[in-house]
Amino acid sequence: VSAKPSLLTPQGPVVASGQSLTLQCRSDVGYDRFALSQEGRQALPQRPGQQPQAGLSQADFPLGPVTNTLAGRYRCYGGHNLSSEWSAPSDPLDILVAGRFPDTPSLSVQPGPVVASGENVTLLCQSRNTRETFLLSKEGAARPPPRLRSKYQGGHFQAEFSMSPVTSAHNGTYRCYSSLSSHPYLLSHASAPLELTVSGTLPKPTIWAEPGSVIPWGSPVTIWCQGTLGVREFYLNKEGSSAPWYRQPSPEPGDKGAHRKPTLSALPSPVVTSGGNVTLQCGSWQRLDGFILTKEGEPKSSWTLDAQRDPHGRTQGLLPVGHVTPSHRWMFRCHGFYRDTPQVWSAPSDPLKLLVSGVSAKPSLLTPQGPVVASGQSLTLQCRSDVGYDRFALSQEGRQALPQRPGQQPQAGLSQADFPLGPVTNTLAGRYRCYGGHNLSSEWSAPSDPLDILVAGWLPDTASLSMQPGPVVASGENVTLLCQSGSTKETFLLSKEGAARPPLRLRSKYRGGHFQAEFSMNPVTSAHNGTYRCYSSLSSHPYLLSHASAPLELAVSELSLIQLEHSSVMTPIHTDVSFT
């Protein structure tokens, strides 16, 4: 019952995987030693107390790089050397690990990011994926993020965080996260940061126009806004407008004054079948009024696109392009502009080049590592063909990048190219195809068959795998492999070590307190011999898997079931049964 210490961390309650984490237990009682407990764990590390000044004591507990096992609820205790009794526990400290679920929620604010003191504000956190809770964090806040249960509305899971009324204390940068109730201390990636500014807390800026506030019709004018040192963003409001008319970050040394460049993408993909259609999308988070889309090469073309707002508040312009053939150079860029200054364009987007696929022989795409890879593992994809292609291109479904490599000829009539993708992260999970091409043609081959790259270890749970009737069976028997998880999982996958084919995938069923799937092999042959593992997954992220189950070895004997039973009864220790 002696005075409880305090437990805190300089890193704050939300930490990223791989970040260094230290917890500090401190007290205004001169304790000689401190102990740390984590809910659900048996370990109780202890540290001697340090006395930074008279009457105070503390101890640091360095926990090392953050992994999902460090997520949880902690308490600490103080003790004296002359007593075996410890103090009352500190208040709990929750350590939340971000980035352990693959989705990224969105965060928006109503009525807007700049509000007057005393107004009511709502921050809306949304995700298209099945998420049971949302958390809202404020940068620099020591208190744990507030947590709300999600509601399903308008095709989204969402939660509304209300601030009524706001004061200067609400100024700051906010982020939100999603989570599952089965793993409350493991979070998604953070949303994009949202800056909330409560007006009346900064000295008012100065505004003026050059060359003056009265100008001839059609002449250019520049509006200047000058604030105090340290201001990060300026908002220009026009009377009668419901939203900020213009928003501009505070300039940095070297800024040239141009609008930030927009993005350019092709929907559904930058790979287009010869003669097919595609939609080009210019996009920006600035409130642009329009876009200029240009096509390079001969003949040069340009289009002016009206800006629209998408459901996430992003500005976009769309252009359908039909009858794409290899006879043209399909290279595009786009610029943004404001209606009042249509002659002032933004910097150009990064170039977008369409890849036109044809009907020549499709190559093959494979990986020496197999279809299931672990986070951090080195990954290389190889595109090969028995046609002598001069170059190869690689596409990933849902991505705009189309890396190309020159073809190598290991022997006459064969060609191939390696695509080293580096250490595996969740962004490398997905479906890939490759294409071959000749230097004298702008057309590419038909696409390879798809190759799915599955990244294991991104969902925090570990499935279990069992077998009926047992791991040693006679050829011709029926075998069922049962994959189970105590967490909410929509699909299960079964992989065989060394198999080139992708793992089998089944939807889960809820039974007996578990989510599970039964993989049947009827009847088994020697081809089923091998080591099996299973994984769980969410349908919203089908290429990101849980940790692998413990391996399970299946041995199929060519003996009949009767012979196998007789052999096991007569010679229980030394058996002559041989497995193929």
pLDDT in tens, 61-91: 999 888 888 999 999 999 998 888 999 999 9
Instruction: Give the mean pLDDT of 262-278.
Output: 89
The per-residue pLDDT for 228 is 65
Residues 451 and 438 in one domain: yes
Gap between the Cα atoms of 47 and 299, Å rounded: 74
Paired tokens of 543 = 């290429």
User: Looking at the structure, do residues 135 and 76 belong to the same domain, yes or no?
Assistant: no
Q: Do 502 and 431 share a structural domain?
A: no
Alpha-carbon span 37 to 45, nearest angstrom: 7
Digit-coded pLDDT (tens) for 524-547: 888 899 999 999 998 888 999 999
Place of tokens 């107390």: 49
Q: Is residue 248 part of a domain?
A: no
Task: State the CATH number of the domain containing residue 308.
Answer: 2.60.40.10
3-state secondary structure of 397: coil
Query: Is residue 438 domain-shared with residue 506, that is, in the same domain?
Result: no
N-to-C CA span, the chain: 67
Q: Are strands 451-462 and 372-374 parallel, antiparallel or unpaired?
A: parallel
Question: Domain of 325?
Answer: 263-352
37 located within any domain: yes
Q: Which of 298, 327, 352 is the last residue of a domain?
A: 352
| Residue 550 confidence (pLDDT) | 93
In a domain, 132, yes or no: yes
pLDDT bin (cut points 50, 70, 90) of residue 123 is: very high
295-300: average pLDDT: 75
Q: Is residue 211 part of a domain?
A: no
Among 320, 352, 384, the domain boundary falls at: 352
Q: In total, how many domains does the chain have? A: 5
Q: 539 Cβ partners below 8 Å, 6+ apart?
A: 490, 491
Residue 443 domain flag: yes
- Contact (CB, 8 A) for 395 and 436: no
Q: What is the pLDDT of residues 505-515, one digit of tens each?
A: 999 998 888 89
- Residue 562 has a pLDDT of 47
Q: Are residues 13 and 93 in the same domain?
A: yes
Whether residue 222 lies inside any domain: the answer is: no
pLDDT tens across 149-158, in order? Answer: 999 888 889 9
Banded model confidence at residue 202, pLDDT cuts 50, 70, 90: low
Environment class of residue 148 by beta-carbon count within 10 Å: exposed (0-12), middle (13-18) or buried (19+)? middle
Are residue 88 and residue 124 in the same domain, yes or no? Answer: no
Question: Domain boundary residue among 153, 177, 199?
Answer: 199
- Are residue 305 and residue 336 in the same domain, yes or no? yes
- Residue 569 counted as domain residue: no
Residue 251 confidence class, pLDDT cut points 50, 70, 90: low
Q: What global pTM score does this model have?
A: 0.58
Contact 479, 473 (CB under 8 A): yes
The answer to the question of residue 518 being in a domain is: yes
Q: Over the stretch 363-417, which tens digit does the pLDDT of each residue have?
A: 999 998 888 998 888 999 999 998 889 999 999 998 888 899 999 988 877 899 9
